[in-house]
């Protein structure tokens, strides 16, 4: 096996948003402010079932998430942050000592920033060049060097776009929430360029649906099995 079994997890409003466009520190309503506590618990319990949770830098800059278990029993998973140019603030809560943290940077990250993150206790993985880390290579490193067998990717929309483009998700878990966020600038589960029929539209089959009051918990699996294409 070249990569961890990798799960995309997203809580989405009825109108297909994962967050309004926000400034750092402004609360995302698609979370504890609006989501039923039992559903939040279900969301958090997914973290207890994996070896690591991965997010993009914007999730850290906007939400300053700790990515630990809240109310779920078990051991905190490792945390992986995609931060091509090592821009994460040294005060980010994800660097605390509640769990180990891997910061994935590219070979173009400034050495003094990489050193500073390392001095804060982060494990540094170098993968690819430029702002975006090389995801297939990173997943291979996570599996081989860090023994991560199950990986949960919580977002945001930019990271999901990169992961889906390389068919790296073995499973998509969607929590459909009974509220409308609206806004043409709001963030959707998959950002940046659309997929096209010419170049291939990622296609999934329905695996499971659970109705939980006004919420739906939906699991899809890819029609073409996920994997790293050499």
Ligand X SMILES: NC(=O)c1ccc[n+]([C@@H]2O[C@H](COP(=O)([O-])OP(=O)(O)OC[C@H]3O[C@@H](n4cnc5c(N)ncnc54)[C@H](OP(=O)(O)O)[C@@H]3O)[C@@H](O)[C@H]2O)c1
Contact 178, 215 (CB under 8 A): yes
Phi, psi of 117 (to 5 degrees): -65, -40
Q: Which residues, including other chains, have CB under 8 Å from residue 180's CB and lie 6 or more apart?
A: 13, 14, 15
CA of 142: how far to CAs of 2, 73, 79, 158, 217, in Å? 10, 24, 11, 20, 28
Q: Is 135 in the site for ligand X (CB under 6 A)?
A: yes
Q: Is 54 in the site for ligand X (CB under 6 A)?
A: no
Question: Which of 72-80, 109-117, 152-160, 209-217 is the region at the interface with ligand X (rule: CB under 6 A)?
Answer: 152-160
Q: Considering beta carbons, is residue 16 or 74 the nearer one to ligand X?
A: 16
Name the residue with tokens 């993985």.
Answer: 125
Q: Is 190 in the site for ligand X (CB under 6 A)?
A: no
Question: Which of 70-78, 149-157, 203-211, 216-224 is the region at the interface with ligand X (rule: CB under 6 A)?
Answer: 149-157
Length of the chain measured in residues: 230
Which x/- pattern over 197-226 shows residues binding ligand X (rule: CB under 6 A)?
------------------------------
Residues numbered 158 to 177 that lie near ligand X (CB under 6 A) are 158-159, 162
CA of 209: how far to CAs of 68, 72, 103, 106, 181, in Å? 26, 22, 34, 38, 23
Which x/- pattern over 104-133 shows residues binding ligand X (rule: CB under 6 A)?
---------------------------xxx
Query: Which residue is at the shortest CB distance from ligand X?
Result: 156
Name the residue with tokens 């967050």.
Answer: 19
Q: Is 186 in the site for ligand X (CB under 6 A)?
A: no
What does the angle CA 211 – CA 154 – CA 147 come to, to the nearest 5 degrees?
115
Residues near ligand X (CB under 6 A) are: 10-11, 18-19, 22, 28, 30, 55-59, 62-63, 82, 84-85, 87, 131-133, 135, 154-159, 162, 187, 191
């Amino acid at each position: 096996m070249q990569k961890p079994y990798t799960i995309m997890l997203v809580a989405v409003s009825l109108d297909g948003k994962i967050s309004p466009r926000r400034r750092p520190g402004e609360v995302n309503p698609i979370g504890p402010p609006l989501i039923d506590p039992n559903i939040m618990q279900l969301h958090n319990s997914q973290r207890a079932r994996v070896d690591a949770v991965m997010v993009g830098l914007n999730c850290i800059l906007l939400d300053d998430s700790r990515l630990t278990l809240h109310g779920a029993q078990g051991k905190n998973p490792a945390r992986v942050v995609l931060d091509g140019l090592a821009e994460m603030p040294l005060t980010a809560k994800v660097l605390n000592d509640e769990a180990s943290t891997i910061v994935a940077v590219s070979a173009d990250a400034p050495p003094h920033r990489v050193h500073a993150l390392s001095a804060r206790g982060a494990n540094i993985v170098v993968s690819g060049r430029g702002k975006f880390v090389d995801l297939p290579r990173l997943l291979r490193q996570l599996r081989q060097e860090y023994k991560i067998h199950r990986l949960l990717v919580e977002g945001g929309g930019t990271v999901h776009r990169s992961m889906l483009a390389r068919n790296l998700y073995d499973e998509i878990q969607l929590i459909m929430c009974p509220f409308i966020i609206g806004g043409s600038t709001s963030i959707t589960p998959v950002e940046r360029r659309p997929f096209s029929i010419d170049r291939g539209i990622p296609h999934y089959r329905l695996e499971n649906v659970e109705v939980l009051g006004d919420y739906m918990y939906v699991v899809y699996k890819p029609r073409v099995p996920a994997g790293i294409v050499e």
